[in-house]
Amino acid sequence: MHSACATLEIRDEADAVDAICAAHAKGVSCAIVGGGSKSGLGRYAPQAQALSTAALTGVTLYEPNELVLSARAATPLSEIEALLDQHGQQLAFEPMDCGRLFGAEEGGATIGGVIAVNASGPRRIKAGAARDHLLGFRCVTGRGELVKSGGRVMKNVTGYDLSKLVCGSYGTLALLTELTLKVLPKPQTECTLLAIGADEAESLALLRRATATPCEPSSLAMLPAGAALALDADAAAIRLEGPAISVMARRDDLVGRLTSDGVRFETLDEYDSKALWRGLRDAAPVAAAVGQIWRISVAPSEGFAVVERVRRAGAPVIAYFYDWAGGLIWLCLETSPDAYAAVVRSAVDAGGGHATLIRASAEARARVDVFHPQPAALAALTRRVKESFDPAHILERGRMRAEF
């Protein structure tokens, strides 16, 4: 995916300041590359040079009792997860691994990349997204200035919350150098309740009913027949996590509350449950399909209608599934030069939300708006926010929006 361009190795923050000041002075556009596992995300926008942060590695602080961890930006996610695991902790937002999606090796993600794309998995609906777990950071802005924000404590309202802003900014505001994250205990165990036999719309309604119970499901997905688990019928999957005694009690309670005609229940034990959600986290049911992939965020009750509208408008659906109780749709469509962008977006706009083109060729990602178009006033504000960090548009130029 990378076009040939000069690569500058960034060894420390001083290097980053020098490189970006120089680029700023000359208006040279820069890609920011950590592990490179997410280079297929965003608009196709080749840059004049690449800033490799690969040397910025290492966990700089980990205090399990304080639920806090700091690491340099290119620290492999796998290293952080392994360290947390030793202490029975985790990143609760469950960041996805893009390997399967792009046919690359798994385990290539860095913590900086996770934050840059606000990667969040099935547990997002209960535990929050990456943006809810970033407590503070250090970065070098597009002006070449070393800036810090936030802190290492859980509760902090001192100054603007720039942590939220850099999450999901795709490197367009600043080069992240070090991140401080809230970490949480791993649940003791988990299981997944499968409700099989209802049709798609009923299964989604069942998931929404489950979110209105006190059973505290941590993930809720609707799997069309054949999408996963070699099931030949539509299924609703509900993950329950916590102490063993509580998980079993909540499963039984949930079965009682969701029982209806024609629906049978199965339970996946911890091992199978983990495997299922790991797969869904990484979009496995659509990743294996050949086609262009959209990731769509809508109100949970709108999910089914969005897919229906896409179908009715004639876009050929190859594979799909719903996460977040219907609020997240992973949709694989037959490849087309325009990725059916107009169809997908008008299906979403009818009820509110946004659609992101996640996997498509460079040509398609150059032609189509990868991120959902914004109304004029919001687009203008977005551009002013960008320019407050990077007035010369040198960082990841064009990666999010064509105009910057």
Partner 1 sequence: MTLLMPRPEPAIMSRRNELIARLGAILPRESLIVDEVARRAYECDAFTMYRALPLVVTLPESVEQVRAIMALAADMNVKLVPRGAGTSLSGGSMPLEDGILLGMSKFNRILEIDYENRCARVQPGVQNLAISKAVEAQGFYYAPDPSSQIACSIGGNVAENAGGVHCLKYGLTTNNILGLDVVLMGGEFIRLGGKHLDSEGYDLIGLMTGSEGLLGVVTEVTVRLLQKPPIARGLLLGFASVAAGARCVSAIIARGVIPAGLEMMDKATIHAVERFQPCGYPLDAAALVIVELDGTQAEVDHLVAVVQDIAREEGATTIRASTSEAERLQFWAGRKNAFPAVSCIAPDYLCMDGTIPRARLPEALAGMDRLAKEQGLGVANVFHAGDGNLHPLILYDASKEGDIERAEKLGFDILRLCVSLGGVLTGEHGVGVEKRDLMGEMFTDVDLAQQMRLKCAFDPAGRLNPGKVFPTLHRCAELGMMHVSGGKMPFSDLPRF
Edge to edge, the sheet with strand 235-242 lists 264-268, 189-196, 235-242, 219-223, 317-323, 328-333, 292-298, 353-359
Check: CB of residue 122 under 8 Å from CB of residue 222.
no
Using the minimum distance from each CB to partner 1, give the nearer residue, 186 or 289. Answer: 186
Contacts of 194 (CB under 8 A, 6+ apart): 229, 231, 235, 236, 237, 238, 265, 266, 267, 268
Using the minimum distance from each CB to partner 1, give the nearer residue, 100 or 131. Answer: 131
Task: Work out how close the CB of 78 gets to partner 1 at its nearest, in angstroms, rounded to a whole number.
Answer: 22
Backbone angles phi, psi at 170, to 5 degrees: 50, 35
Using the minimum distance from each CB to partner 1, give the nearer residue, 109 or 134. Answer: 134
Beta bridge partners of 68: 63, 182
Structure-block tokens of residue 373? 């178009």
Task: Work out how close the CB of 5 gets to partner 1 at its nearest, in angstroms, rounded to a whole number.
Answer: 26
Using the minimum distance from each CB to partner 1, give the nearer residue, 160 or 271. Answer: 160
The beta strand positions in 271-401, using DSSP E, are 292-298, 317-323, 328-333, 353-359
End-to-end alpha-carbon separation of the chain, Å? 21
> b/e per residue, 164-192, with b = 16+ CB within 10 A?
bbbbbbbbbbbbbbbbbbbbeeebebbbb
Placement of tokens 């449950």 in the chain? 273
Task: Work out how close the CB of 148 gets to partner 1 at its nearest, in angstroms, rounded to a whole number.
Answer: 6
Using the minimum distance from each CB to partner 1, give the nearer residue, 229 or 344. Answer: 344
Task: Work out how close the CB of 166 gets to partner 1 at its nearest, in angstroms, rounded to a whole number.
Answer: 9
Task: Work out how close the CB of 311 gets to partner 1 at its nearest, in angstroms, rounded to a whole number.
Answer: 20
**CA proximity to 221, closest of 339, 308, 126:** 126
Other CB atoms within a 10 A radius of the CB of residue 380 amount to 12
Task: Work out how close the CB of 188 gets to partner 1 at its nearest, in angstroms, rounded to a whole number.
Answer: 7
Using the minimum distance from each CB to partner 1, give the nearer residue, 100 or 399. Answer: 399
The Cα 107–Cα 112 span in angstroms is: 14
DSSP states of 222-262 as a string?
EE-TTSSTT-SS-EEEEEEEE-HHHHHHHHHHHHHHH--TT
Using the minimum distance from each CB to partner 1, give the nearer residue, 50 or 200. Answer: 200
Q: Is 290 exposed, middle or buried (0-12, 13-18, 19+ CB in 10 A)?
A: exposed
Task: Work out how close the CB of 21 gets to partner 1 at its nearest, in angstroms, rounded to a whole number.
Answer: 9
Using the minimum distance from each CB to partner 1, give the nearer residue, 124 or 281. Answer: 124
Task: Work out how close the CB of 3 gets to partner 1 at its nearest, in angstroms, rounded to a whole number.
Answer: 25
Task: Work out how close the CB of 136 gets to partner 1 at its nearest, in angstroms, rounded to a whole number.
Answer: 9
Using the minimum distance from each CB to partner 1, give the nearer residue, 114 or 229. Answer: 114
